[in-house]
Structures are given as structure tokens and as C-alpha cells.
Amino acid sequence: MGLSWQQGPLAQRSVGQFLTPDPPPERMLYAEPLRRRLRVRFGGDWIADSEDVTLLHEPGRYPVAYFPEAAIAPGVLEPTDHVTTHRDLGPTDWFTVHRGPARAERAAWRFADLPRYAGPLRHRVAFAWHPMEAFYEEDERITGHAADLYHRIDIRRSSRHLVVRDGDRVVADSVHPRVLYESGFAPRWYVPRADVDPAALAPVDRQTFCPYKGLASYYDIGGRARAAWSYEEAWPEVDLISDYVSFEPDKIDVFLDGRQVAMEPGQTVVPHGIDRGFDVDEVLAKA
């Protein structure tokens, strides 16, 4: 997923390799201009607004946006005694964020004594995503994390024959599947709902969300828990899979042109970082 998460080139489980005579360092951080106007809302007000945001890509984490101190409203950041040490960037000062009656403890941070090579992050502050009311690019709310400029999704129509079986029972049979290619993940196959036996799907009372695709609903199949899922109303950018159904090849038997699909590297989602609490409420608030 992007440069540094899942199996991206800067991730610690990268699926590829750098073709260099000497191996690169185990950890590489990358900072770059976001080149988009990003705003933070808290306490019913805009507390940060800048077109000069720096994005930090760090192995195993989603990209984090750092605002210049001058772009933050006066009086928003209250220093605390809490100091941590970043393994690469040194001591980190933490702030309470407050605006009017609204307060969020340890909800922003700044690197206090950066090494010389980390100059692009000097005099910049990052806000923890979940405690803030919202982040916006221009006038559109962004969910989940700052935009990863290297994350891409491509969806392709296909005429290959996809069959899903639960033992002897045919759960799905389609020659009109769609395959979704997503940065850092192995391909995922989606089937039109008309080609799925509806009686085979038992809805699960739980949803998750993806910042790139929307709300996912899950289904049990027989005794196989959460063996299928669907973005019933996918984001407009990925509407080609809206209300299609996908199946977990390690939980249910999936065959593509007669060959059983196996779990591939990159198919399992890595847990989110400590600064990301993806939950359905964030999407419902956006809606």
C-alpha cells in the first residue's frame, strides 16, 4: 500500500527489491511535499490550513502529514511533559490540542531535535488522525489517513471463469468477474451478485472501511466465518466493484479457469498503525 506500508518498496516486507550493489538500510524514511491544500477541523473550527504540508512515509505506517507551525491557529497547541523518542528522528514533544471547550490529550507532536538529514520536518507538527474532528483536502473530507500519493487501484473486467465452492455446493459461478489490483496487495476477484447464490451468504453484523474503497459488509458461508465481503456502495472512484462479492481463498474454495486460487503474499491485511483507528463512524460522519 503505497511506498512504506504493506509490501511497498520502503516496507519491511517489500515484495520487490532494490537492484543495488550493496543492500540498502533496513529502514528508510521518505519525506515529500503533499502539494495539496490540507485542513484540520477540531472544536468546530479550522485549526490548521496549509498548502505547504510535508508527507512522511515510514516503514509499516500510513503516510503522516506535517504542518508548518505558522499554519496552525494560535493557542491550539498546549505543551505537555510527555516526551518520547523516535527510533530514527529523536526526541518527540507531545501537545494537547484544544479549541474552545474541546480538548484532546497528546493529539499532536513535533520532533524536538531532528538530525541534520531530516530538515524537511523541522518546525512542523503532525496531528493524530482519530482525535481530530476531520481532515479536509480543499472542501472534501478525507477519511482514514492523509493521501498516499503512491497508492493506486485498477479494476479490470474479465471473461475468465470463476467458481466458488463450499464442499459440493456451488456458491458462485461467473464468466463476468472483475479483478481489483491494489498497491501492495495481491489481486482480488469480485463476482456480480447475480452470479452468487444468495442463500449461501449469511450477513455478518459487522462492517469495516477502507479509505480507498468504502464500507465493507461481510458474510459467513456455511461454517466459514467472514468468507466473503462486498462494498455494497463503493466509493465513486471504484464503482466497478460496487455490490460485487469477493471471497477469501484461504476460507472458501475459489477456482479461476479450473485452477484453485491460493493465498498469495500480500493478501493478508497488516494491522493499522497506532495513529490510525479506522472505524465505521468516520465514514458515517463523512456521509
pLDDT (tens digit, 9 = 90+) per residue, 159-217? Answer: 999 999 999 999 999 999 999 999 878 899 999 999 999 999 999 998 988 889 999 99
Please check whether residues 252 and 188 belong to one and the same domain: yes
Q: What is the rounded CA–CA span in Å between residue 28 and residue 61? A: 12
| Percent of the chain predicted with pLDDT > 70 | 92
Our count of domains for the chain comes to: 2
Per-residue pLDDT, 263: 81
129-153 CB burial, b ≥16 within 10 A, e <16: bebbbbbeeeeebbbbbbbbbbbeb
Per-residue pLDDT, 284: 67
The verdict on residue 271 lying in a domain is no
The verdict on residue 189 lying in a domain is yes
Structural contact between residues 15 and 265, judged by C-beta atoms closer than 8 angstroms: yes
- Give tens-digit pLDDT for 272-283: 554 445 667 666
CA angle 195/198/203 to nearest 5° reads 125
Structural contact between residues 265 and 197, judged by C-beta atoms closer than 8 angstroms: no
The verdict on residue 15 lying in a domain is no
Please check whether residues 159 and 72 belong to one and the same domain: no
Residue 110 domain boundaries? 30-150
47 in the Ramachandran plot: left (φ > 0), alpha (ψ -120 to 50) or beta?
alpha
The stretches of the chain forming alpha helices (DSSP H) are 280-286
Please check whether residues 105 and 162 belong to one and the same domain: no
Please check whether residues 126 and 191 belong to one and the same domain: no
Per-residue pLDDT, 274: 45
The verdict on residue 265 lying in a domain is no
pLDDT exceeds cutoff 60 at 1: no
Please check whether residues 107 and 143 belong to one and the same domain: yes
pTM of the model: 0.86
